[in-house]
Structure 1
Amino acid sequence: MEIYQLRTFVAVALQGHLTQAAELLHLSQPAVTAQIKALEEELGIALFERYPGGVQLTEAGKLLLPDAQRILALSRDMLHRARGMSGEPKGKLRIGTIGVPGRLRLGPLLARLRQRYPLISVQTHHAISGVVLNDVRKKVLDGGFYLGRNPYQNLNTMVLSELRFCVAMPADWAKVYAEADWKALGQADWLGLSQFTSLSSITQELWREHNVAPNKVGEFDEEATLVEMLRAGIGLSILAERTAQRFAADGSIALWRGGETVIAAPLQFVYPAEREADPLICMLRDTLREVWELG
Structure 2
Amino acid sequence: MEIHQLKTFMTVAREGSISRAAETLCLSQPAVSAHIKAIEDTFGLILFERTPRGMSLTREGEQLLRKTEQTLGAHQDLLTEAARLKGRLNGKLHIGNSSTASTEALGRLMIALSERCPEVELVVQHGNTAELLKGIRNGSLDAGFYNDSHLPDEDISSLEVGRFSIFLAAPPGLVDTSEPVDWQALAQLPWICPTVQSCCKQAADHLFEAHNIRPQRIISIDREAVTRTLIGGGVGVGLLHADSAREAQLRGEIEIICEAQKHVRVLFAHTRKRVHDPLLMMARSILQTEHG
Shorter-chain TM range is 0.5 to 0.7
Q: CA deviation at 1:205?
A: 3.0
Counterpart of 1:174 in 2: which secondary structure?
Answer: coil
Q: Map 1:250-265; keep pairs closer than 5 Å.
A: 250-257=251-258, 260=259, 262-265=261-264
Cα offsets for 1:203-249 (capped at 9, x unmatched): 22332233222134321111100111101111111111221111111
Q: Matches of 1:242 and 1:85 in 2, distance apart?
A: 44
Cα offsets for 1:171-222 (capped at 9, x unmatched): 1313389642333323322013131444223322332233222134321111
Amino acid at match of 1:115: E
> Cα 1:200–1:135, aligned 2, differ >3 Å: closer, same or farther?
farther
Q: Matches of 1:213 and 1:145 in 2, distance apart?
A: 31
Q: Is the 8 A contact 1:192 1:216 kept in 2?
A: no
Counterpart of 1:195 in 2: which secondary structure?
Answer: coil
Q: Is the 8 A contact 1:231 1:253 kept in 2?
A: yes
> Cα 1:207–1:177, aligned 2, differ >3 Å: closer, same or farther?
farther
Q: Map 1:12-31; keep pairs closer than 5 Å.
A: none
Counterpart of 1:247 in 2: which secondary structure?
Answer: helix
Q: Map 1:219-238; keep pairs closer than 5 Å.
A: 219-238=220-239
Which position in structure 1 is the counterpart of 2:214?
213
Counterpart of 1:191 in 2: which secondary structure?
Answer: strand
Q: Is the 8 A contact 1:217 1:235 kept in 2?
A: no
Amino acid at match of 1:289: Q
Which position in structure 1 is the counterpart of 2:169?
168
Amino acid at match of 1:162: R
Q: CA deviation at 1:166?
A: 1.1
Cα offsets for 1:5-43 (capped at 9, x unmatched): xxxxxxxxxxxxxxxxxxxxxxxxxxxxxxxxxxxxxxx
Q: Matches of 1:209 and 1:116 in 2, distance apart?
A: 48
**If the length of structure 1 is used for normalisation, what is the TM-score?**
0.64
**Count of aligned residue pairs for this structure pair:** 209
Q: Matches of 1:127 and 1:205 in 2, distance apart?
A: 24
Q: Is the 8 A contact 1:139 1:272 kept in 2?
A: no
Q: Matches of 1:144 and 1:216 in 2, distance apart?
A: 34
Q: Map 1:172-187; keep pairs closer than 5 Å.
A: 172-175=173-176, 179-187=180-188
Q: Matches of 1:104 and 1:262 in 2, distance apart?
A: 20
> Cα 1:168–1:132, aligned 2, differ >3 Å: closer, same or farther?
same
- Larger displacement relative to structure 2 (230-239 or 187-196): 187-196
% identity of equivalent residues: 24
Q: Matches of 2:205 and 2:284 in 1, distance apart?
A: 31
Q: Is the 8 A contact 1:168 1:244 kept in 2?
A: yes
Larger Rg: 1
Q: Matches of 2:100 and 2:153 in 1, distance apart?
A: 25
Runs of at least 5 residues in structure 2 that lack an aligned partner in the other structure: 1-82
> Cα 1:191–1:222, aligned 2, differ >3 Å: closer, same or farther?
same
Q: Matches of 2:84 and 2:261 in 1, distance apart?
A: 52
Which position in structure 1 is the counterpart of 2:250?
249
Which position in structure 2 is the counterpart of 1:114?
114
Q: CA deviation at 1:263?
A: 4.0
Q: Matches of 2:219 and 2:102 in 1, distance apart?
A: 28
Amino acid at match of 2:155: N
Q: Matches of 2:209 and 2:92 in 1, distance apart?
A: 42
Q: CA deviation at 1:131?
A: 1.9
Where has structure 1 moved over 6 Å in runs of 4 or more?
none
Q: CA deviation at 1:155?
A: 0.7
> Cα 1:233–1:186, aligned 2, differ >3 Å: closer, same or farther?
same
Q: Is the 8 A contact 2:169 2:245 kept in 1?
A: yes
Which position in structure 2 is the counterpart of 1:287?
286
Q: CA deviation at 1:264?
A: 2.6
**If the length of structure 2 is used for normalisation, what is the TM-score?**
0.64
Q: Is the 8 A contact 1:164 1:265 kept in 2?
A: yes
Q: Matches of 1:116 and 1:109 in 2, distance apart?
A: 10
Runs of at least 5 residues in structure 1 that lack an aligned partner in the other structure: 1-82
Amino acid at match of 2:125: H
RMSD: 2.5
Q: Matches of 1:251 and 1:178 in 2, distance apart?
A: 19
Q: Map 1:112-151; keep pairs closer than 5 Å.
A: 112-148=112-148, 149-151=150-152
Q: Matches of 1:277 and 1:101 in 2, distance apart?
A: 25
